[in-house]
Structure 1
C-alpha cells in the first residue's frame, strides 16, 4: 500500500479525529477483524463491538467508525476517526486510493481459464514491469481490498481475477479495481445455485462490459456460444476478438499438440507469430491468445511476449501429465470441474491418448443448486460424444453422468462408486502402460485429490 497519513485519510471522507494523531502513517487496510495482520492498519469498523485488548498486538491501529467508542487512555497507540456513515467512508477511501494510480489494470472473468490467463499475463509482464496480481485462485470478494492496496507507487500494471459466485460480483470488483482491460475467457454453466439460470449466469459474467469505460478494451473469445449472447450494444470501448475465425483480431492457426504443450501461429495485423504455450489442449491456445492480446495492449511487443510465454509454468493439477499406476499415463485435472472444462479435458484425453485405452474418473460438479440433475445429464451427453473406453464416476450426483450413458446406450464400460475407496483396487486390475487415465474433480474434493496423488505413485 502507498503509505498515507491519518490526516490525509480523514480529509477523504471528512472524518473527525476523536483520539490519536494525524501524523500516524497507515500501511495496510481492513474491513474485518480477521483481515488485520500488521501494525499501522486502518480498520473500517462496521460493528459496534470490538475487543481492543485482542487487537493491541497490532497497534498502532486506526479505527474508522460511526459508532460511539469511548476515548481510552490505556490504548496510547490507538487512533479513532469518527464518521457519519462508515460504509460511505469506506467507499470514498477505496475510490480515492484507486484514483492515485494511472496504470493498466486487467480484470479477468470466465467459467474456465481465468487463473491460467491471469498467470500467463503476469508471467509475460513481469519480465519488464513491476506488477501485482491475484494470488493463485484467491479471487473472493473479501480479498478485493487487499489486492487494491497491493498497488503502490512502484506498480506498473495489475492483473486481477473477478470471479462470479452470484450476480453483482463483477460489478463489485469493478468498484474496487476500475479495470482498463477486461477479459471474458468463456461462459459455461456454473454457480447456478445463486445465478438461478444459465441466462442469469451469462448476465453475471456480462457485468464485465459494465465496469469498463469508453477508453477501455474488452477481450472476448469469438467462438464461445454463450459469450455471443451478451448484448454489447451499450459498450463504448473497443472490442478485441480472439479465436480461429478470420474475423478475429488475434487469430490462431496451425494448432497442434507437441511435447509438453501446444504450438500454433498467431495472426495479428497481417503479421504471423510462432507461439508455443506449455500445457495441453485447445483451451490453452485460447488462454494464450487472450493473454497475448492483453499484454500487447499494454505495450509489450508480440515477439517478446511469445518468447516469454515459452517459459510459462502450467498450473498444478491443470491437466498435468504424469507416469503412474502400472505404467499408465495419468492426466491430473483435479483443479476444477464444470461442463466447459470437462469438454476440454476429454478432448485432451482423446488427443494425448490417441492409441491408448482411455479411462475417465469424474467427480461431482458443484455449485449447481436445483440444476444439479440437469447439468450432470448434460455432462453425460458430453461424455457420450467422446471416445472414452471406461467411465468411472465417484459420488451420488456424479452417478447421473453414468446413468445417462447407460440409458442412451454406450460402448464404454461404466462404473459408479459412492466414494473413492474401491476405485483404486479396480484401476489396479484394468490399467497398464497402454492406458491413459483422466481424473477430474475440483480443488475442494479431498478424496479426488488423494486418489490422483495415489495414482501418480509408481507401483
Structure 2
C-alpha cells in the first residue's frame, strides 16, 4: 500500500480525530478484524471492539468507525477516526486509492481457464514490468481490498481474477479494481447453487461488460456459445475476439499436439506468427490467445510474447502428465471440475492416449445446487460422445454421469464407487504399460487428490 498519514485519510473520509495523532503512518487496510495482520493498519468497522488485548500486537492501529468509545475504553497507541458512516467511509477510501494509479488493470472471469490465463499474462509481463496480481486461485471478494492495496507507486500493471460465486461478484470486483482490460475465458455451468439458473450464471459473468473502463477493451472467446449470449450493446469500449473463426482478431491456425504442449500459429492484422504454449489441449491455446490479446494491448509485441510463452509453467494437477502404477501414464487433472473442464480433459485424454487403453476416473461436480442431477447427466452425455475405454466414477452424484452415459448408449466397462477405497485395487488389476489414466476432480476433494497421489509411480 502507498503510505498515508492519519491526517490524509481523515481528509479523504471526512473524519474527525478523537484519539491519537494525525502523524501516524498507515501501511495496510482492513474491514474485518481477522484481516489485520500487520502494524500500522487502518480498520474500517461499525462493530464495537471489546477484546483489545488480542489486537495489541498490531499496535499502532487506526480505527475508522461510526461507533462511540469512552476515553476509558481506548488503549494507548490506538488512533480513532470518527466518521458518520463506516461503510461509506470505507468506499470513499477504496475509490480514492484506486484513483491514485493510472495503469493497465486486467480483470479475468470465466468458468475455466481464469488462473492459467492470468498466470500466462503475468509470466509474459514480469521480466520487464513490476506486476501485482491475485495469488494462485485466491479470488474471493474478501481478498479484494488486499489486492487493491498491493498496487503501489512502482506497479506497472495489475492482473486480477474476478470469480463468480453469486450474482454481483463481478460488479463488486469492478468497484475495487476498475479494470481497463476485461477477459471472459468461457462460460459453462457452475455455481448454480447461488446463480439459480444457467441464464443467471451467464448474466453474472456478463457483469464484466459493466465494469470495464469505457475506453478499455473486452477480450472474449467468440466461439463459446454462452459467451455469445452476453448483451454487448451497452459496451462502449472495443471488443477483441480470439479463437479459430475467420472473424477473430487473434486467430489460431494449424493447432497441433507436440512434446509437452501445443504448437499453433496466430494470424493478427494480416501477419502470421508461430507459437508454442506448454500444456496439452486446445483450451490451452484459447488461454494463450486471450493472454496474447491482453499483453498486446499493454505494448508487448507478439514475437516478444511468444518468447516468454515458451517458458511458461502451468500448475501441477492441471492435466499433469506423469508415470503411474504398472508403468501406466497418469493424467492428473484434480485442480477443478466443471463440465467445461471435463470436456477439455477427455479430449486431451483421447488425443495423447491414441493406441492406449484410456481410463477415466471422475469425481463429483460441486456448487450446482438443485441443478446437480441435470449437470451430471450432461457430463454423462459428454463422456458418451467423446468416449473412453473404461469409466470409473467416485461419489454418489458422480454415478449419475455413469448411469446416464450407459442409458445413452455408452458400451465400455463402467464402475461406480461411493469412495476411493476399492478403486486402487481395481486399477492395479486392469492397468498396464499400455494404459493412460485420467483422474478428474477438484482440489477440495481430498479422497480424489489422495488417489491421484497414490496412482503416481513411486520414485
TM-score clears 0.5: yes
- For 1:240-266, what per-residue CA distance to the aligned partner results, in whole angstroms no more than 9, with x for missing partners? 000000100000001000000000001
Residue aligned with 1:51, SS: coil
Which residue in the other structure is 1:345 paired with? 345
The answer to whether the Cα contact below 8 Å between 1:31 and 1:46 also exists between their aligned partners in 2 is no
- For 1:375-406, what per-residue CA distance to the aligned partner results, in whole angstroms no more than 9, with x for missing partners? 00000000000120100000000000011122
Deviation at 1:86, TM superposition (A): 0.1
- Any residues of structure 2 matched to 1:56-455 within 5 Å, and which? 56-72=56-72, 75-455=75-455
Distance in structure 1 (CA, Å) of the matches to 2:259 and 2:114: 24
Which residue in the other structure is 1:25 paired with? 25
Distance in structure 1 (CA, Å) of the matches to 2:189 and 2:235: 24
The answer to whether the Cα contact below 8 Å between 2:4 and 2:25 also exists between their aligned partners in 1 is yes
Deviation at 1:149, TM superposition (A): 0.2
Residue aligned with 1:159, SS: strand
Deviation at 1:72, TM superposition (A): 4.4
TM-score (norm 2): 0.99
Distance in structure 2 (CA, Å) of the matches to 1:74 and 1:248: 61
Distance in structure 2 (CA, Å) of the matches to 1:119 and 1:65: 38
Distance in structure 1 (CA, Å) of the matches to 2:52 and 2:281: 53
Residue aligned with 2:366, SS: coil
Bigger Cα displacement from structure 2, 365-374 vs 406-415: 406-415
Deviation at 1:105, TM superposition (A): 0.2
Deviation at 1:73, TM superposition (A): 7.9
Alignment coverage as a number of residue pairs: 459
The answer to whether the Cα contact below 8 Å between 1:360 and 1:439 also exists between their aligned partners in 2 is yes
Residue aligned with 2:81, SS: strand
Structure 1 gaps, min length 5: none
The answer to whether the Cα contact below 8 Å between 1:327 and 1:458 also exists between their aligned partners in 2 is no
Deviation at 1:52, TM superposition (A): 1.3
The answer to whether the Cα contact below 8 Å between 2:45 and 2:87 also exists between their aligned partners in 1 is no
Please tell me whether residue 53 in structure 1 is matched to residue 53 in structure 2.
yes
- For 1:335-357, what per-residue CA distance to the aligned partner results, in whole angstroms no more than 9, with x for missing partners? 10000000000000000101100
Structure 2 gaps, min length 5: none
Deviation at 1:50, TM superposition (A): 3.6
Distance in structure 2 (CA, Å) of the matches to 1:277 and 1:72: 63
Distance in structure 1 (CA, Å) of the matches to 2:70 and 2:298: 50
Deviation at 1:369, TM superposition (A): 0.2
Structure 1 stretches (4+) deviating beyond 6 angstroms?
none
Bigger Cα displacement from structure 2, 378-387 vs 402-411: 402-411
Deviation at 1:76, TM superposition (A): 2.1
Bigger Cα displacement from structure 2, 296-305 vs 199-208: 296-305
Distance in structure 1 (CA, Å) of the matches to 2:282 and 2:355: 19
Bigger Cα displacement from structure 2, 418-427 vs 74-83: 74-83
Distance in structure 1 (CA, Å) of the matches to 2:445 and 2:107: 28
Distance in structure 2 (CA, Å) of the matches to 1:127 and 1:428: 46
Distance in structure 2 (CA, Å) of the matches to 1:70 and 1:436: 69
Deviation at 1:127, TM superposition (A): 1.0
- For 1:177-230, what per-residue CA distance to the aligned partner results, in whole angstroms no more than 9, with x for missing partners? 000000000000000000000000000000000001320100000100000000
The answer to whether the Cα contact below 8 Å between 2:327 and 2:457 also exists between their aligned partners in 1 is no
Distance in structure 2 (CA, Å) of the matches to 1:73 and 1:431: 69
Bigger Cα displacement from structure 2, 247-256 vs 66-75: 66-75
Residue aligned with 1:332, SS: strand
Residue aligned with 1:453, SS: helix
Residue aligned with 2:68, SS: coil
Bigger Cα displacement from structure 2, 72-81 vs 203-212: 72-81
Deviation at 1:410, TM superposition (A): 1.9
Which residue in the other structure is 1:41 paired with? 41
Deviation at 1:411, TM superposition (A): 2.0
Distance in structure 1 (CA, Å) of the matches to 2:338 and 2:7: 49
Residue aligned with 1:299, SS: coil
Residue aligned with 2:103, SS: coil
Residue aligned with 2:219, SS: strand
The answer to whether the Cα contact below 8 Å between 1:326 and 1:458 also exists between their aligned partners in 2 is no
The answer to whether the Cα contact below 8 Å between 1:18 and 1:71 also exists between their aligned partners in 2 is no
The answer to whether the Cα contact below 8 Å between 1:264 and 1:275 also exists between their aligned partners in 2 is yes
